[in-house]
Structure 1
Amino acid sequence: MIGKPSLLMMTAAAASFSTLAQGVSIASEVTAPKTRLGSAITQDMGRRDQDAARRARTLDLREKAARATEERIKADLAQREQAESTAAAAPAEAKGASEADQFEELARIYQAMKPAKAAIVFEQLEMDVQMKVAQKMRERSTAMILASMTPKGAAALSMALARRGAPARSLIRPMTGSQSPRSAMR
Protein backbone atom coordinates (compact mmCIF):
# COMPACT_ATOMS: atom_id res chain seq x y z
CA MET A 1 0.00 0.00 0.00
CA ILE A 2 2.57 2.21 0.48
CA GLY A 3 3.62 2.59 -2.87
CA LYS A 4 5.32 5.08 -4.85
CA PRO A 5 4.85 8.64 -3.85
CA SER A 6 2.98 10.65 -6.35
CA LEU A 7 4.43 13.50 -8.22
CA LEU A 8 2.00 15.90 -6.62
CA MET A 9 3.16 14.89 -3.15
CA MET A 10 6.75 15.34 -4.04
CA THR A 11 6.12 18.78 -5.49
CA ALA A 12 4.26 19.82 -2.35
CA ALA A 13 7.12 18.62 -0.13
CA ALA A 14 9.67 20.49 -2.26
CA ALA A 15 7.58 23.69 -2.05
CA SER A 16 7.32 23.49 1.72
CA PHE A 17 11.08 22.91 2.07
CA SER A 18 11.71 25.84 -0.20
CA THR A 19 9.41 28.09 1.84
CA LEU A 20 11.11 27.00 5.02
CA ALA A 21 14.56 27.71 3.57
CA GLN A 22 13.43 31.16 2.36
CA GLY A 23 12.14 32.01 5.88
CA VAL A 24 15.41 30.90 7.46
CA SER A 25 17.49 32.96 5.05
CA ILE A 26 15.35 36.10 5.70
CA ALA A 27 15.64 35.58 9.46
CA SER A 28 19.38 35.18 9.20
CA GLU A 29 19.69 38.45 7.24
CA VAL A 30 17.85 40.47 9.93
CA THR A 31 20.09 39.27 12.70
CA ALA A 32 23.22 39.39 10.65
CA PRO A 33 25.62 42.21 11.52
CA LYS A 34 25.46 45.23 9.27
CA THR A 35 28.34 46.44 7.26
CA ARG A 36 29.93 49.86 7.75
CA LEU A 37 28.20 51.15 4.63
CA GLY A 38 24.83 49.89 5.86
CA SER A 39 25.27 51.55 9.26
CA ALA A 40 26.42 54.83 7.66
CA ILE A 41 23.36 54.84 5.43
CA THR A 42 21.09 54.10 8.40
CA GLN A 43 22.67 56.89 10.49
CA ASP A 44 22.46 59.34 7.59
CA MET A 45 18.79 58.54 7.07
CA GLY A 46 18.17 59.02 10.83
CA ARG A 47 19.88 62.43 10.75
CA ARG A 48 17.83 63.46 7.72
CA ASP A 49 14.64 62.42 9.49
CA GLN A 50 15.63 64.40 12.60
CA ASP A 51 16.52 67.49 10.52
CA ALA A 52 13.22 67.26 8.64
CA ALA A 53 11.31 66.99 11.92
CA ARG A 54 13.25 69.98 13.34
CA ARG A 55 12.49 72.08 10.24
CA ALA A 56 8.83 71.10 10.45
CA ARG A 57 8.70 72.21 14.11
CA THR A 58 10.44 75.49 13.26
CA LEU A 59 8.01 76.21 10.44
CA ASP A 60 5.08 75.34 12.68
CA LEU A 61 6.33 77.72 15.39
CA ARG A 62 6.86 80.50 12.84
CA GLU A 63 3.35 79.98 11.49
CA LYS A 64 1.88 80.14 15.01
CA ALA A 65 3.86 83.32 15.77
CA ALA A 66 2.68 84.92 12.52
CA ARG A 67 -0.94 84.07 13.34
CA ALA A 68 -0.58 85.47 16.87
CA THR A 69 0.98 88.67 15.54
CA GLU A 70 -1.78 89.02 12.96
CA GLU A 71 -4.41 88.62 15.69
CA ARG A 72 -2.69 91.24 17.88
CA ILE A 73 -2.55 93.67 14.96
CA LYS A 74 -6.25 93.09 14.19
CA ALA A 75 -7.16 93.61 17.86
CA ASP A 76 -5.07 96.80 18.03
CA LEU A 77 -6.65 98.09 14.82
CA ALA A 78 -10.14 97.36 16.14
CA GLN A 79 -9.30 99.14 19.38
CA ARG A 80 -7.98 102.20 17.51
CA GLU A 81 -11.05 102.29 15.27
CA GLN A 82 -13.29 102.12 18.33
CA ALA A 83 -11.34 104.93 20.01
CA GLU A 84 -11.56 107.05 16.85
CA SER A 85 -15.29 106.46 16.54
CA THR A 86 -15.75 107.38 20.19
CA ALA A 87 -13.65 110.50 19.73
CA ALA A 88 -15.52 111.39 16.54
CA ALA A 89 -18.87 111.03 18.33
CA ALA A 90 -18.21 113.91 20.70
CA PRO A 91 -15.50 116.16 19.20
CA ALA A 92 -17.55 119.32 19.53
CA GLU A 93 -18.23 118.73 23.21
CA ALA A 94 -14.60 118.02 24.04
CA LYS A 95 -13.30 120.82 21.84
CA GLY A 96 -15.75 123.34 23.24
CA ALA A 97 -14.91 122.40 26.81
CA SER A 98 -11.16 122.57 26.22
CA GLU A 99 -11.43 125.93 24.45
CA ALA A 100 -13.54 127.34 27.27
CA ASP A 101 -10.97 126.17 29.81
CA GLN A 102 -8.18 127.64 27.67
CA PHE A 103 -9.82 131.09 27.47
CA GLU A 104 -10.64 131.06 31.19
CA GLU A 105 -6.98 130.34 31.91
CA LEU A 106 -5.89 133.21 29.65
CA ALA A 107 -8.43 135.49 31.35
CA ARG A 108 -6.96 134.65 34.77
CA ILE A 109 -3.45 135.33 33.47
CA TYR A 110 -4.35 138.74 32.02
CA GLN A 111 -6.27 139.69 35.17
CA ALA A 112 -3.18 138.92 37.25
CA MET A 113 -0.98 141.20 35.10
CA LYS A 114 -0.72 144.93 35.47
CA PRO A 115 -3.25 146.53 33.08
CA ALA A 116 -0.68 148.60 31.14
CA LYS A 117 1.53 145.58 30.45
CA ALA A 118 -1.42 143.29 29.76
CA ALA A 119 -2.83 145.80 27.23
CA ILE A 120 0.35 145.76 25.16
CA VAL A 121 0.24 141.97 24.82
CA PHE A 122 -3.56 141.82 24.59
CA GLU A 123 -3.62 144.07 21.52
CA GLN A 124 -1.30 141.68 19.67
CA LEU A 125 -3.85 138.84 19.87
CA GLU A 126 -6.38 138.12 17.13
CA MET A 127 -9.71 139.88 17.61
CA ASP A 128 -11.60 136.62 18.12
CA VAL A 129 -9.23 135.59 20.92
CA GLN A 130 -9.38 139.06 22.47
CA MET A 131 -13.17 138.87 22.56
CA LYS A 132 -13.31 135.41 24.10
CA VAL A 133 -10.73 136.25 26.74
CA ALA A 134 -12.39 139.61 27.56
CA GLN A 135 -15.75 137.87 27.98
CA LYS A 136 -14.21 135.52 30.56
CA MET A 137 -12.56 138.35 32.53
CA ARG A 138 -14.08 140.32 35.39
CA GLU A 139 -15.60 143.67 34.33
CA ARG A 140 -13.12 145.74 36.29
CA SER A 141 -10.10 143.96 34.80
CA THR A 142 -11.51 144.27 31.28
CA ALA A 143 -12.14 147.98 31.81
CA MET A 144 -8.63 148.58 33.14
CA ILE A 145 -7.02 146.75 30.21
CA LEU A 146 -9.23 148.61 27.70
CA ALA A 147 -8.19 151.89 29.32
CA SER A 148 -4.53 150.99 28.86
CA MET A 149 -4.93 149.96 25.21
CA THR A 150 -4.46 152.30 22.27
CA PRO A 151 -7.68 154.10 21.29
CA LYS A 152 -7.89 152.21 18.03
CA GLY A 153 -7.41 148.79 19.68
CA ALA A 154 -9.83 149.59 22.50
CA ALA A 155 -12.49 150.79 20.04
CA ALA A 156 -12.12 147.68 17.86
CA LEU A 157 -12.43 145.33 20.84
CA SER A 158 -15.38 147.31 22.22
CA MET A 159 -17.21 147.10 18.90
CA ALA A 160 -16.53 143.40 18.60
CA LEU A 161 -17.77 142.78 22.14
CA ALA A 162 -20.85 144.92 21.53
CA ARG A 163 -21.71 142.84 18.46
CA ARG A 164 -21.42 139.66 20.52
CA GLY A 165 -23.82 140.96 23.17
CA ALA A 166 -21.33 141.63 25.94
CA PRO A 167 -22.64 143.86 28.69
CA ALA A 168 -21.97 147.48 27.78
CA ARG A 169 -21.12 148.51 31.32
CA SER A 170 -17.99 146.33 31.25
CA LEU A 171 -16.68 148.18 28.20
CA ILE A 172 -17.07 151.77 29.29
CA ARG A 173 -14.99 153.33 31.99
CA PRO A 174 -16.80 156.23 33.57
CA MET A 175 -15.03 159.55 33.28
CA THR A 176 -14.85 162.06 36.05
CA GLY A 177 -15.29 165.71 35.33
CA SER A 178 -11.54 166.43 35.45
CA GLN A 179 -10.60 163.69 32.93
CA SER A 180 -10.42 164.32 29.22
CA PRO A 181 -11.63 161.64 26.78
CA ARG A 182 -8.03 160.92 25.81
CA SER A 183 -6.84 160.26 29.38
CA ALA A 184 -9.86 157.99 29.96
CA MET A 185 -8.74 155.76 27.10
CA ARG A 186 -5.33 155.09 28.61
Structure 2
Amino acid sequence: MLGVAVAAAVANAIAFAASADIAGGAPTSRLGASLQDAAAKRNSTSAAEKRKLDMREQAVKASEARLAGQIRQQQEQQAAAAKSGQGAGAAGGPSVPYDNLARIYQTMKPNRAGPIFEKLDIDVQREVATRMRERATAQIMANMSPQGAVALSMALAGRKVVPAAAKAGK
Protein backbone atom coordinates (compact mmCIF):
# COMPACT_ATOMS: atom_id res chain seq x y z
CA MET A 1 0.00 0.00 0.00
CA LEU A 2 2.86 2.27 0.65
CA GLY A 3 4.05 1.79 -2.91
CA VAL A 4 0.66 2.76 -4.27
CA ALA A 5 0.58 5.88 -2.11
CA VAL A 6 4.04 6.94 -3.28
CA ALA A 7 3.09 6.31 -6.89
CA ALA A 8 -0.11 8.34 -6.43
CA ALA A 9 1.81 11.21 -4.84
CA VAL A 10 4.35 11.26 -7.66
CA ALA A 11 1.55 11.14 -10.22
CA ASN A 12 -0.26 14.03 -8.53
CA ALA A 13 2.93 16.11 -8.46
CA ILE A 14 3.58 15.48 -12.15
CA ALA A 15 -0.02 16.31 -13.03
CA PHE A 16 0.13 19.53 -10.99
CA ALA A 17 3.37 20.63 -12.66
CA ALA A 18 2.04 19.81 -16.10
CA SER A 19 -1.22 21.70 -15.51
CA ALA A 20 0.69 24.83 -14.45
CA ASP A 21 2.85 24.70 -17.61
CA ILE A 22 -0.10 24.07 -19.92
CA ALA A 23 -2.45 26.61 -18.39
CA GLY A 24 0.24 29.31 -18.25
CA GLY A 25 -0.50 29.86 -14.64
CA ALA A 26 1.25 32.24 -12.33
CA PRO A 27 5.03 32.07 -12.34
CA THR A 28 6.52 29.98 -9.63
CA SER A 29 9.28 32.44 -8.70
CA ARG A 30 10.08 36.13 -8.56
CA LEU A 31 12.59 35.69 -11.36
CA GLY A 32 9.92 34.25 -13.62
CA ALA A 33 7.56 37.11 -12.78
CA SER A 34 10.20 39.77 -13.45
CA LEU A 35 11.11 38.11 -16.75
CA GLN A 36 7.49 38.11 -17.82
CA ASP A 37 7.09 41.77 -16.78
CA ALA A 38 10.24 42.77 -18.65
CA ALA A 39 9.07 40.93 -21.76
CA ALA A 40 5.64 42.58 -21.56
CA LYS A 41 7.22 46.05 -21.16
CA ARG A 42 9.56 45.40 -24.06
CA ASN A 43 6.65 44.26 -26.24
CA SER A 44 4.53 47.31 -25.36
CA THR A 45 7.49 49.66 -25.93
CA SER A 46 8.24 48.12 -29.31
CA ALA A 47 4.56 48.34 -30.26
CA ALA A 48 4.49 52.04 -29.29
CA GLU A 49 7.66 52.69 -31.31
CA LYS A 50 6.14 50.90 -34.29
CA ARG A 51 3.02 53.07 -34.04
CA LYS A 52 5.21 56.21 -33.86
CA LEU A 53 7.16 55.13 -36.92
CA ASP A 54 3.96 54.38 -38.82
CA MET A 55 2.59 57.83 -37.94
CA ARG A 56 5.82 59.50 -39.05
CA GLU A 57 5.77 57.55 -42.29
CA GLN A 58 2.20 58.66 -42.95
CA ALA A 59 3.16 62.28 -42.18
CA VAL A 60 6.13 62.08 -44.55
CA LYS A 61 3.96 60.62 -47.31
CA ALA A 62 1.37 63.36 -46.81
CA SER A 63 4.08 66.04 -46.88
CA GLU A 64 5.58 64.57 -50.04
CA ALA A 65 2.17 64.56 -51.70
CA ARG A 66 1.53 68.16 -50.64
CA LEU A 67 4.96 69.29 -51.89
CA ALA A 68 4.46 67.47 -55.17
CA GLY A 69 1.15 69.28 -55.60
CA GLN A 70 2.74 72.64 -54.83
CA ILE A 71 5.59 71.99 -57.28
CA ARG A 72 3.11 70.96 -59.97
CA GLN A 73 1.06 74.11 -59.31
CA GLN A 74 4.15 76.34 -59.49
CA GLN A 75 5.22 74.69 -62.74
CA GLU A 76 1.77 75.29 -64.19
CA GLN A 77 1.89 78.93 -63.08
CA GLN A 78 5.36 79.35 -64.56
CA ALA A 79 4.22 77.78 -67.81
CA ALA A 80 1.22 80.11 -67.91
CA ALA A 81 3.46 83.09 -67.12
CA ALA A 82 5.89 82.02 -69.83
CA LYS A 83 3.05 81.83 -72.35
CA SER A 84 1.78 85.28 -71.36
CA GLY A 85 5.38 86.55 -71.15
CA GLN A 86 6.02 85.54 -74.78
CA GLY A 87 3.26 87.87 -75.88
CA ALA A 88 4.59 90.69 -73.71
CA GLY A 89 8.13 90.44 -75.10
CA ALA A 90 10.72 92.50 -73.21
CA ALA A 91 8.18 93.63 -70.59
CA GLY A 92 8.33 90.13 -69.08
CA GLY A 93 12.04 90.50 -68.28
CA PRO A 94 13.80 89.26 -65.17
CA SER A 95 12.43 90.43 -61.85
CA VAL A 96 15.71 90.34 -59.92
CA PRO A 97 16.78 93.91 -60.83
CA TYR A 98 13.34 95.19 -59.85
CA ASP A 99 13.52 93.33 -56.54
CA ASN A 100 16.93 94.84 -55.85
CA LEU A 101 15.69 98.33 -56.74
CA ALA A 102 12.67 97.86 -54.50
CA ARG A 103 14.93 97.00 -51.57
CA ILE A 104 17.16 99.99 -52.32
CA TYR A 105 14.28 102.48 -52.49
CA GLN A 106 12.68 101.03 -49.35
CA THR A 107 15.87 101.63 -47.38
CA MET A 108 16.32 105.20 -48.65
CA LYS A 109 14.74 108.09 -46.82
CA PRO A 110 11.44 108.95 -48.55
CA ASN A 111 12.27 112.64 -48.99
CA ARG A 112 15.42 111.65 -50.93
CA ALA A 113 13.89 108.69 -52.78
CA GLY A 114 10.76 110.51 -54.02
CA PRO A 115 12.39 112.93 -56.50
CA ILE A 116 14.77 110.24 -57.80
CA PHE A 117 12.01 107.66 -58.10
CA GLU A 118 9.88 110.13 -60.04
CA LYS A 119 12.55 110.46 -62.75
CA LEU A 120 12.47 106.74 -63.54
CA ASP A 121 10.51 105.41 -66.49
CA ILE A 122 6.85 104.83 -65.56
CA ASP A 123 7.12 101.08 -66.30
CA VAL A 124 10.13 100.80 -64.01
CA GLN A 125 8.30 102.83 -61.34
CA ARG A 126 5.33 100.47 -61.56
CA GLU A 127 7.46 97.30 -61.38
CA VAL A 128 9.51 98.57 -58.45
CA ALA A 129 6.48 99.95 -56.58
CA THR A 130 4.62 96.63 -56.85
CA ARG A 131 7.59 94.88 -55.21
CA MET A 132 7.87 97.39 -52.36
CA ARG A 133 5.95 97.40 -49.10
CA GLU A 134 2.82 99.54 -49.31
CA ARG A 135 3.94 101.87 -46.54
CA ALA A 136 7.30 102.57 -48.22
CA THR A 137 5.56 103.17 -51.57
CA ALA A 138 3.14 105.60 -49.93
CA GLN A 139 5.93 107.54 -48.25
CA ILE A 140 7.87 107.82 -51.51
CA MET A 141 4.74 108.89 -53.41
CA ALA A 142 4.11 111.57 -50.77
CA ASN A 143 7.51 113.05 -51.63
CA MET A 144 6.90 113.02 -55.39
CA SER A 145 5.30 115.83 -57.35
CA PRO A 146 1.51 115.59 -57.64
CA GLN A 147 1.76 114.79 -61.37
CA GLY A 148 4.34 112.06 -60.72
CA ALA A 149 2.25 110.54 -57.93
CA VAL A 150 -0.83 110.56 -60.18
CA ALA A 151 1.09 108.93 -63.01
CA LEU A 152 2.39 106.19 -60.72
CA SER A 153 -1.06 105.68 -59.19
CA MET A 154 -2.59 105.29 -62.63
CA ALA A 155 0.18 102.89 -63.66
CA LEU A 156 -0.37 100.82 -60.52
CA ALA A 157 -4.10 100.78 -61.29
CA GLY A 158 -3.33 99.47 -64.77
CA ARG A 159 -4.39 102.63 -66.62
CA LYS A 160 -2.35 104.63 -69.11
CA VAL A 161 -1.43 108.23 -68.32
CA VAL A 162 -0.39 109.32 -71.81
CA PRO A 163 -2.74 112.36 -72.09
CA ALA A 164 -1.58 113.93 -68.81
CA ALA A 165 2.09 113.39 -69.69
CA ALA A 166 1.57 114.84 -73.19
CA LYS A 167 -0.12 117.96 -71.78
CA ALA A 168 2.65 118.47 -69.21
CA GLY A 169 5.31 118.16 -71.93
CA LYS A 170 3.74 120.87 -74.19
- In the superposition, the TM-score normalised over structure 1's length comes to 0.41
Structure with max Cα Rg: 1
